[in-house]
């Protein structure tokens, strides 16, 4: 019977040691997943611009809190800067697309003959 108590104590000790490390990994995975989503959204916006369509404006994100992992924090800062650059580029391109639709850049040479 004493052997079972010893075994149970060892099992509980192992689980208690493993639990904090498993919980510590969770925020990192969530932040990496959110970075992947942000990068996918940037790619979709650029694809829309390449297709000649103005993408919808991005949803304002809440300020990011540092994760404590320097690599992830650095990547998050880079993605934020890239989002700003893509936002400015999108605004300029969409303004050009709207202006381009208002005034055609070519003249229909046969319009006078058809009229």
Q: How many CA atoms lie within 13 A of 44 on its CB side?
A: 10
Q: For residue 56, how many C-alpha atoms fall within 13 Å in the half-sphere facing its CB?
A: 4
Residue-level pLDDT at 11: 46
| 3-class secondary-structure state, position 2 | helix
CB–CB of 65/72 below 8 Å? no
CA distance 104 to 115: 19
Q: How far apart are CA 66 and CA 76, in angstroms?
A: 9
Q: Is the pTM of this model over 0.85?
A: no
Mean pLDDT of the chain: 73
- Report the alpha-carbon distance of residue 98 to residue 102 in Å, rounded: 6
The 10s digit of each residue's pLDDT in 22-78 is: 555 566 777 888 889 989 999 998 898 888 888 887 767 666 777 788 888 889 889
For 108, other C-beta atoms within 10 Å of its C-beta total: 9
For 90, other C-beta atoms within 10 Å of its C-beta total 19
């Amino acid at each position: 019977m004493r052997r079972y108590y010893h075994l149970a104590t060892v099992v509980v000790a192992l689980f208690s040691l493993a639990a904090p490390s498993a919980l510590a990994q969770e925020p990192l995975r969530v932040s990496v997943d959110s970075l992947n989503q942000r990068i996918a959204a940037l790619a979709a916006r650029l694809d829309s611009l390449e297709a000649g369509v103005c993408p919808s404006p991005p949803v304002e994100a809440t300020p990011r809190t540092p994760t404590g992992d320097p690599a992830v924090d650095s990547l998050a800062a880079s993605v934020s800067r890239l989002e700003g650059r893509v936002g400015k580029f999108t605004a300029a391109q969409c303004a050009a697309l709207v202006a381009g639709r208002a005034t055609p850049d070519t003249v229909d040479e046969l319009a006078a003959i058809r009229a």
